Amino acid sequence: MIISTDTAEQYKWGADCDGWHLLKSDQLSVIQEMMPPDTEEVLHYHAKAQQVFYILDGVATFRIKDETYILTKGKSIAVSPGAAHQILNKSDEPLVFLVISAPKSHGDRINID
């Protein structure tokens, strides 16, 4: 089956951010997400899910534990279970990326105040 953002299940999150489920199973989740300029995700962690973020377009700022990383198109970063993390789009352009989670991260998210 061919899936695209035109046919995938879509959802909204955060401050007008979009997500498209390209693959949605209990064992593996593949989501394409888009963050408008000057948006950020809440700092959080996953108890079980390991994640890989792959940047398709734009510039991402990641906070993982006490470190900050800048990722550009074609770069990826892995986040281990239990690692507090946050993705931010501090740029003037939309940020588009894939987030791949095994097992799925939905229902396995703990926000940090």
9-104 fold = Jelly Rolls (2.60.120)
Task: Report yes or no: 55 and 76 within 8 Å, Cβ to Cβ.
Answer: yes
Other residues' Cβ atoms within 10 Å of the Cβ of residue 18: 17
Task: Report yes or no: 43 and 86 within 8 Å, Cβ to Cβ.
Answer: yes
Domain boundaries, the chain: 9-104
- Residue 51 in this model has a pLDDT that exceeds 90: yes
pLDDT (tens digit, 9 = 90+) per residue, 66-105? 999 999 999 999 999 999 999 999 999 999 999 999 999 9
Q: What's phi and psi for 3, nearest 5 deg?
A: -125, 140
pLDDT (tens digit, 9 = 90+) per residue, 2-27? 999 999 999 999 989 999 999 999 99
Question: pLDDT value at position 1?
Answer: 86
Q: Tell me the pTM.
A: 0.95
